[in-house]
Amino acid sequence: MEYRIGVISGDGIGPEIVAEAKKVLDKIGEKYQHRFHYTEILMGGCSIDAVGVPLTEEAIAAAKASDAVLMGSIGGNTATSPWYKLAPELRPEAGLLKLRKELNLFANLRPAYLYEELKEACPLREDIIGDGFDMMIMRELTGGLYFGERKTEMVDGVMTAVDTLVYNENEIRRIAKRAFDIAKKRRKKVTSVDKANVLDSSRLWRKVVEEVAADYPEVSCEHMLVDNCAMQLVKDPGQFDVILTENMFGDILSDEASMVTGSIGMLSSASLNDTKFGLYEPSGGSAPDIAGLGVANPIATILSAAMMLRFSFDLDKEADAIEAAVKQVLKEGYRTIDIMPRGDLGTGAANASVTQVGTAEMGDLIAERI
């Protein structure tokens, strides 16, 4: 089979980690007789540098012409990068928000799974970790505070900023259905996270989720306030199966969940629309401080490519092969610096069973084990 993949390498470590994901995909193509055709798409700071805007209409068209899009990371250091002296609508992240909206990518899936081999990298106590955890965070991606009307103006002589949080019942219902459909294939539990004790948008969220839950009697549904959920993620992460939540809450909670796994460099993600089309990216940022050093962890991007094979191309066997290769490499003791045991940071010598490797070597190791 042949597949067209739009590739947004982006900024910072983006090009490095995307290169390793493509390396693994090419190995899959070689073994399973598939051909992946890559189209490079500019977005983010690199697009600003090249054409003055973070996302062009040509880039949107190229993404729409692809079967799926694989992305690295965009943006830079907000304190020092000249990109952040521009108007908000011209900054790197504005391109990503626009692309999500243009492609109707309303469902963001972020799995957080603790590998047995990485328990030592988890910051939680062993008695809290227990037998590990395996959760899927389902984040609504095209509504809420990030897409509401905003303005900054003088009001009675005082500079005042306003951001608007808006959801309608249709937006809530479609993401809730996705969450319950996925829960049916997992452990059949949905935890819907909101702030219904304060926000009208959350009260509507809870009402619509309860209506959807009635259509899935085999799936249990509980509601949890976002502040409690943030606490429970570090108190007892094993209790969660599918976490369903709105845009901003999901943004924050998924980053928290990634660190509970040991490193944000391990957290893949998929953003899907109503069809098989999706955009696949690691959950971490562009990490400009380590760009070009060859130390970034490419595993999240490689696992995002596996999600692309599974959700957009229905290539479950091939996705399984990538995930098994990642587990095998970790089992053999290979680690990038972010997931090294704390006592071995920078050396890899204190623990003879653990070897520190760089970005490209990690990609090579995973590709070799497919």
Same domain, yes or no: 18 and 97: yes
Same domain, yes or no: 215 and 256: yes
What pLDDT does 353 receive? 85
Same domain, yes or no: 175 and 57: no
Is residue 72 situated within a structural domain? yes
Same domain, yes or no: 86 and 169: no
Is residue 31 situated within a structural domain? yes
3-state secondary structure of 185: coil
Averaged pLDDT, 19-27: 98
Same domain, yes or no: 216 and 268: no
The confidence band for 349, taking pLDDT boundaries of 50, 70 and 90, is: very low
φ, ψ for residue 57 (rounded to 5)? -65, -35
Which of 260, 279, 314 delimits the end of a domain? Answer: 260
Give the list of residues 6+ apart from residue 334 with CB closer than 8 angstroms, or none. 355, 357, 361, 362, 365
The confidence band for 263, taking pLDDT boundaries of 50, 70 and 90, is: confident
Same domain, yes or no: 127 and 256: yes
Averaged pLDDT, 243-255: 95
φ, ψ for residue 361 (rounded to 5)? -65, -40
Averaged pLDDT, 81-96: 93
pLDDT at residue 123 tops 70: yes
The confidence band for 121, taking pLDDT boundaries of 50, 70 and 90, is: confident
Is residue 118 situated within a structural domain? no
* pLDDT digit string, tens, across residues 269-292: 999 999 999 999 998 889 999 999
Is residue 115 situated within a structural domain? no
Same domain, yes or no: 256 and 136: yes
Q: What share of the chain is helix, strand, coil (3-state, %, to 5)?
A: 45, 20, 35
The DSSP line for 129-155 is HTT--EEEEEEE-SSGGGTS-EEEEEE
The confidence band for 144, taking pLDDT boundaries of 50, 70 and 90, is: very high
> How many domains does the chain contain in total?
2
Structure tokens at 286: 């562009």
Q: Return d(Cα 9, Cα 182) in angstroms, integer.
A: 29
Looking at residue 116, the DSSP 8-state letter turns out to be: G
Which of 200, 226, 260 delimits the end of a domain? Answer: 260
User: For 270, left (φ over 0), alpha (ψ -120 to 50), or beta?
Assistant: beta
Same domain, yes or no: 172 and 145: yes
3-state secondary structure of 79: coil
Which residue in 70, 118, 116, 82 sits closest to 311, CA to CA?
A: 70
Is residue 173 situated within a structural domain? yes
User: Which of 31-35, 123-127, 132-136 is predicted least confidently?
Assistant: 123-127
Same domain, yes or no: 171 and 273: no
* pLDDT digit string, tens, across residues 149-166: 999 999 999 999 999 999
Which of 237, 260, 283 delimits the end of a domain? Answer: 260
The confidence band for 348, taking pLDDT boundaries of 50, 70 and 90, is: very low
* pLDDT digit string, tens, across residues 320-340: 999 999 999 999 999 999 888
Residue the block writes with tokens 């091939």: 318
3-state secondary structure of 213: helix
* pLDDT digit string, tens, across residues 189-219: 999 999 999 999 999 999 999 999 999 999 9
Same domain, yes or no: 90 and 176: no
Active site residues: 146, 195, 227, 251, 255
CB 313 within 8 A of CB 3: yes
Looking at this protein, which amino acid is placed at residue 45? G
What CATH number does residue 100 fall under?
Answer: 3.40.718.10
Per residue in 82-94, is it b (16+ CB within 10 Å) or e — as a string? ebbebeeeebbbb
pLDDT at residue 342 tops 70: no
356 lies in which domain range? 1-109+263-370
Same domain, yes or no: 205 and 322: no
Same domain, yes or no: 143 and 57: no
Is residue 117 situated within a structural domain? no
Which residue in 92, 72, 77 sits closest to 10, CA to CA?
A: 72
Is residue 116 situated within a structural domain? no
